[in-house]
Amino acid sequence: LSRLNITNPPCQRTGVMAAFVSFQQFEVMFDSLMSLFLNDPELSPMSSDSSSADLESIREEEPPLIMFTPDSPGTSSAQSLNVTEEPIHIINVGLMDSSLAEEQDEILSKKLGDFVRSNIHLMNEKGIRRITFIIFNENCYPRYFTFRARHQFNEDTIYRHLEPALAFQLEINRLSNFTIQLIPTQNHRMHLYLGSAKVAEGQPITDHRFFIRSIIRHTDLITAEASFVYMEREGERIFLESLDQLQVASANMDETIRTDCNHIFLHFVPPIILEPTKIADKMLSLVSQYGIRLLKLRVTEAEIKATIRLTPTSDKIPIRVFLSSDNGVSVRVHMYQEIEDPRTGEIIFQSWGPPTGPLNRQKVTTPYPSKDHLQQKRYNAQNMETTYIYDFIEMFRQAVCQQWETYSKQFQDEDENNESKLTTPSADKVLLAKELGLDKNNNLQEVNRHPGENKIGMVAWSITLFTPQYPNGRDIIVIGNDITHQIGSFGPKEDLLFQLASQLSREKGLPRIYISANSGARIGLAEELKHLFRVAWVDAQSPDKGFRYLYLTPADYMKITGGKGGIVVTELIEDEGEPRYKITDIIGKRDGIGVENLKGSGMIAGETSQAYKEVVTLNLVTCRAIGIGSYLLRLGQRVIQVENSHIILTGSGALNKVLGRQVYSSNTQLGGVQIMYNNGVTHLTVPNDYEGMLAIVNWLGYVPKTRNHPLPVMSIHDPVDRPIEFEPSRLPYDPRHMLAGRMNKDQVWESGFFDKDSFMEILGMWARTVVCGRARLGGIPCGFIAVETRSVECVVPADPADPETESKLISQAGQVWFPDSAFKTAQAINDLNKEELPLFIFANWRGFSGGMRDMYDQVLKYGAMIVDALHEYNHPVFIYLPPHGELRGGAWVVVDPTINPDHIEMYADKESRGGVLEPEGTVEIKFRWKDKLKTMERLDQTYQQLLEKVKLPGLSIEERKLTEVKIKEREELLAPMYHQVAVLFADLHDTPGRMKEKGVISDVLQWKTSRKYFYWRLRRRLCEQRVINLIREADKILTRGEIIAMLRRWFVESKKPDNAYLWHNDEVIVEWLQDSLDNTSSVIYNNIQCIKSERITREVDNLITNNESAAVDCIAHISQKLSISERQEIIRLLSSSLEDK
């Protein structure tokens, strides 16, 4: 027993620590134990010291119980405040009782509590502050049960299994903004609490979160290496154990309570020799490694408390490391040192290095805050399995950073430093966002406000992204639904903002991004009338007989309209002896409760249709898209769908009501990725919102920054002159390997046609006999369409609403256009045309499927759509027949270069074939059996002799029959071989040599070197197109053929006639065109100026010719704007003209 010296106290508490072999022994010895606390006035069990600091030190983890009361009048100021007496003694009892060790916690707590409360008067008399029982069990962690005087000696469950003397190390007092409940865990090192935010009485509690806290004890570590290894291993182990406990607790949680903003606290007790940045780096690696799990468990903050030494001999430094992520996208790291405030003497946080953290200069006892309005909105969005709309901006930032990291890794120097050639910008310099909103006059303007301050359910931004393709920045327009505002529904204001932001993207030619998370057009009622209208019953005593109309009383009518109308249209009638205002139409006070929302929906549908034609439109659907939201996605065409989202027109509940039975179990069944990705509405699927943002940023990397802007050509990291290592075979193969390359069986990379790591396939699960997407050739973005040579299976699901339907498995052969794959081809061509990308079509089709079912499914119409799409294509198109590929009949027709001769070129590999029919089919029609017999007769001597013999006049009947048998046998013997001869003969009509001779292809290529050829050919076509555009700006009537002829003439003039043959060398022409375009005084720019002058002269001449009476006036008017020398020149020319006449 420590005895308290009141005059000069050597310590601030007294207590007893005792151990017993059984609970019965404790009961017997309890009175003896309590007798140690003497009733000596000098050893008072109550504290009467007026120093609050002394009392504060003994309060451990408990909230202050100190109360200051004014003394009686006349006391001195020093004696004016006295501390209300309170107990200060403590008892720790250890019980090594095997029978208690087997008891469950609740039973044991009741047993111990009953005993303590039975002696409550004695405990109060002796001034016992708390009594803690420690239950020991062999090979098990001890269990702690604490009973406090302030709880009338009921158990303080918050500290169950927690040693009270060490409780301050868990900083439970920082949870004071929450009502906390201990959650039992199997791991006694983990202390898990469920916190519910304290709110005003009667208010619902919406902020529930888990706090999991752990103390990590270890022996002193004398080296930095040992400290780091221990922190790395033990920290990760405790971190994972914390996640395990959170997962178990979440699974067993009441469904009515959903936690968010969960918090992890780890306290390393003994000092460690370590730089605090290493702690932060390790925790960041853990967050990166287990990020998906942290998101699922809704952990938003981790806190590490430790005492460090920078060197083994340096002073101890208490530090804190906070890692937080409010939006689930970016992680903020803040480090603090705990120091004493020289003004107040309190321990406060001080930021350790930049950036300055939000807790800087705040007390270390600062309670954790509950949710603010922004966190509540995030929570609401996350409950609907999506991201809060304002957090998508940060996702854009992180996606651009990741794109920079990926790009820079592709360009590593091979020097010993192995440093990147590129300087990757910092995260705060890759994005600049300006929010757009409506002003008082409903005009679009930039707004400066904090996230979450929007008043309508639609938000928009003008964003500048500093990407690897455009380091100096590219602008985009982003529009998104705020699903936390009236569940993301579309009202007039939302439609107007969408319309104006989309128009802005078209005016500037910028890509338009739409983030869809909505509930369709808004449905509303006139709430102001809901509680006022009355019902005119047929029989007021029997409402079941029906009613006649709805009405308002005169008083209610005046109350709602003020006598002016406009809110409700009524008819004044006299009924049942009283005046009534019979309601005929309800207008409503607020706009946006009915059909006006549908008008707005139609407006933005038309706007989206036009936007698709003029700019690049990209859509991300997260959570859900309903009604008009679904149509906007389809009208915008390029759809990226998050896997847990759905795209529907009507909800499953409404359909079930219409059908009168429970048919559909969820909206995902109607419009999930298994439907929309397989039917071609969705182009790409992603597992989460961040991957969706990354897909958008990567997609934008293939697209020009504005309409009619040059393509975003990247630095070449995959040599254009390398041979293509993957070799297509006659057997079925995966066309993706031909385009992107593959890792072969020996784990050796075999390169494909396009640049490595640039392949992006879209529409992958729809119409799988065609493969399409985007890639790069020598850094130049391109679109591609290729053919699946293998057979694929298409699954048509059964409709639960029709019991007679069943799932069908349809097999589709490779190298054939079916209705779905023809539609896919046409749609891909249209999309790529709008993206202004050159197109490569690796044509390997044997034709269209012309069976009855496919004809009924409109294969003819979709095939014609391919022709329409190619005819309207305004950028280079290269049709290439790959090795062992073939293009036959109608398949050739729909991609022939004459469909769009200004833009389409066709090439064939030397091993490819093209013709009306396959050789076998041609032989059946044009090399029939009689033709084969004639060939046998012409080439086979034995057959010739037998035919001559059978024609001899003196041949007997028996010999003739024998000869005819031999002829038949000879024909049967030769038939297989001569059939092959016929097939080969027909096949030789389909060779690339004949194609080139007939002028249906531009050239015959070799597969291995085709990459280099097409690279320079593509660059030439792109440079030519730039020149063509410049010339057409000067004179629009010139055709492409005329312009190419002029370019050829200019080239010969600049390079001399001896070098005219170089016109067919793409590499030379590219160099000449590029130099000319970069030099404004080049022959091209000089000639363009001449063309412009000729055009102006022609236009003026036409105007004067058509208006002779105004010619003199025009000349006089023009001369007034000329200088004196220019007038003199005109006079000289006119004089010369008169003299000539």
Q: Does the bond joining 270 to the residue before it have cis omega, within 30 degrees of 0?
A: no
Residue 423 to residues 404, 600, 973, Cα–Cα distance (Å)? 9, 46, 75
At 142, the pLDDT band (50, 70, 90 cuts) reads confident
Question: Tens digits of per-residue pLDDT, 469-489?
Answer: 999 999 999 999 999 999 999
Q: Which of 507, 423, 505, 433 is nearest to 465 (CA)?
A: 433
| Higher local confidence (pLDDT), 313 or 213 | 213
Centroid of chain to Cα 280: 27
Please state the rounded mean pLDDT for residues 758-765.
Answer: 95
Mean pLDDT of the chain: 87
∠ Cα 1118 1122 1123 (to 5°): 165
Bridge partners (DSSP) of residue 262 are 299
Q: Residue 258 in 3-state DSSP?
A: coil
Place of tokens 């865990």: 185
Residue closest to 677 by CA, chosen among 789, 767, 587:
767
Q: Which helix (H) or strand (E) holds 582?
A: strand 578-586
What b-and-e string marks burial along 997-1006, b requiring 16 or more CB atoms within 10 Å of the CB?
eeeebbebbe
* 72 confidence band (pLDDT: 50, 70, 90): very low
What pLDDT score was predicted for residue 754? 96
- Kindly give the pairing relationship between strand 81-83 and strand 89-95: unpaired
Helix/strand/coil (H/E/C) assignment for every residue in 455-485: CCCEEEEEEEECCCCCCCCEEEEEEEECCCC
Residues 844, 939: Cα–Cα separation, whole Å: 36
Distance CA 635, CA 632 (A): 5
Contacts of 277 by beta carbon, 8 Å cutoff, 6+ apart: 335
Secondary structure letter of residue 520 according to DSSP:
S
The structure's pTM equals 0.83
> pLDDT by residue (tens digit) across 1085-1108?
999 999 998 888 888 878 777 776
User: How does residue 189 score in pLDDT terms, banded at 50, 70 and 90?
Assistant: confident
CB distance 611 to 629 below 8 Å: no
Of 680, 699, 671, nearest to 824 (Cα)? 680
Contact 736, 761 (CB under 8 A): yes
* pLDDT bucket at 56, cuts 50 / 70 / 90: very low
**872 pLDDT exceeds 60?**
yes
**pLDDT score for 1096:** 86
Which backbone phi and psi does 480 adopt, to 5 degrees? -150, 150
Query: pLDDT, tens digit, for every residue of 647-660?
Result: 999 988 888 888 88
| Contacts for 658 with CB less than 8 Å, ≥ 6 apart | none
At position 453, the amino acid (one-letter code) is E
Give the pLDDT band of residue 426 (cuts 50, 70, 90): confident
Produce one character per residue of 107-131: b if its CB has 16 or more CB atoms within 10 Å, e if not: ebbeebbebbeebeeebeebbbbbb
- Is residue 75 predicted with pLDDT exceeding 80? no
Q: Mean of the pLDDT values across residues 978-1003? A: 94
Q: pLDDT at position 967, please?
A: 92
Q: Does position 131 have pLDDT exceeding 80, yes or no?
A: yes
What would the mean pLDDT of 100-105 be, rounded to a whole number?
85
- Quote the tokens at residue 244: 């395990």
Residues in the chain: 1141
Average pLDDT over residues 712-723: 90
Q: What is the pLDDT of residues 1021-1080, one digit of tens each?
A: 999 999 999 999 998 889 888 999 999 999 998 888 888 889 999 999 999 999 999 888
- Is residue 399 within 8 Å of 696, Cβ to Cβ? yes
Q: How far apart are CA 554 and CA 570, in angstroms?
A: 11
Strands (E), 274-393: 299-309, 317-324, 332-340, 347-351
Decide: 299 and 292 in contact? Cβ < 8 Å: no
The Cβ of residue 191 has, within 10 Å, a number of other Cβ atoms equal to 24
Place of tokens 């049942």: 576
Q: Kindly list the distances between the CA atom of residue 647 and the CA atoms of 266, 599, 631, in Å, as whole numbers in the listed order.
A: 43, 21, 9
For residue 74, pLDDT over 80 is answered with: no
DSSP states of 866-918: HHHHHHT--S-EEEEE-TT-EEEHHHHHTT-GGGSTTTEEEEEETT-EEESS-
pLDDT digits 0-9 by tens, 350-361: 998 888 889 999
How confident is the model at residue 173, as a pLDDT?
A: 85
| Mean pLDDT in residue range 331-358 | 90
Residue 562 has pLDDT above 90, yes or no: no
Cβ–Cβ < 8 Å for 1013, 777: no
Quick one: pLDDT at residue 73?
38
Instruction: Kindly indicate the confidence band of residue 568, based on its pLDDT and cuts at 50, 70 and 90.
Output: very high
3-state helix, strand, coil in the chain (%, to 5): 40, 20, 35
191 closest CA partner among 208, 206, 169, 176: 169
CB 723 within 8 A of CB 735: no
- 540 contact partners, CB below 8 Å, separation of at least 6: none
Point out which residues pair with 464 in neighbouring strands.
432, 475
Question: H or E segment at 516?
Answer: strand 512-516
Confidence of residue 61 (pLDDT cuts 50, 70, 90): very low
Mean pLDDT over residues 216-240, rounded?
77
- CA dist 109 and 160 (Å) reads 9
The most confident of the ranges 63-67, 840-844, 1060-1064 is 840-844
Stretch 64-93: mean pLDDT, rounded? Answer: 49
pLDDT at residue 1124, as a whole number: 82
Average pLDDT over residues 24-29: 92
Is residue 53 pLDDT above 50, yes or no?
no
382: Cα within 13 Å, side-chain hemisphere: 21
Closest CA to 1022 of 859, 852, 847, 839: 839
Burial 788-811 (b: 16+ CB within 10 A, else e): bbeeeebeeeeebeeeeeeeeeee
pLDDT, tens digit, 9 for 90 and up, residues 160-169: 888 877 778 8
pLDDT of residue 54: 39
Biggest CA–CA distance in the chain, Å, is 165
Beta bridge partners of 915: 888
- Cα distances (Å, whole numbers) of residue 65 to 13, 279, 590, 1016: 16, 37, 54, 84
Please report the pLDDT score of residue 822 as a whole number: 96
- Within a 13 Å sphere around the CA of 857, how many CA atoms are in the beta-carbon half? 14
Q: DSSP for 958-1012? A: HHHHHHHHHHHHHHHHHHHHHHHHHHHHHHGGGSHHHHHHTTSSSEEE-GGGHHH
For residue 536, what are the contacts with CB-CB under 8 A and spacing of at least 6?
A: 547, 548, 549, 550, 551, 575, 576, 580, 582
Asked if pLDDT for residue 395 goes beyond 50, the answer is yes
Residue 933's pLDDT is: 92
pLDDT of amino acid 598: 95
Which amino acid makes up residue 252? Answer: N
Closest to 389 in 3D by CA, of 492, 516, 260, 510: 516
Tokens of residue 52, six digits: 């609050």
Identify the pLDDT of residue 736: 96
Average pLDDT value for residue range 803-825: 92
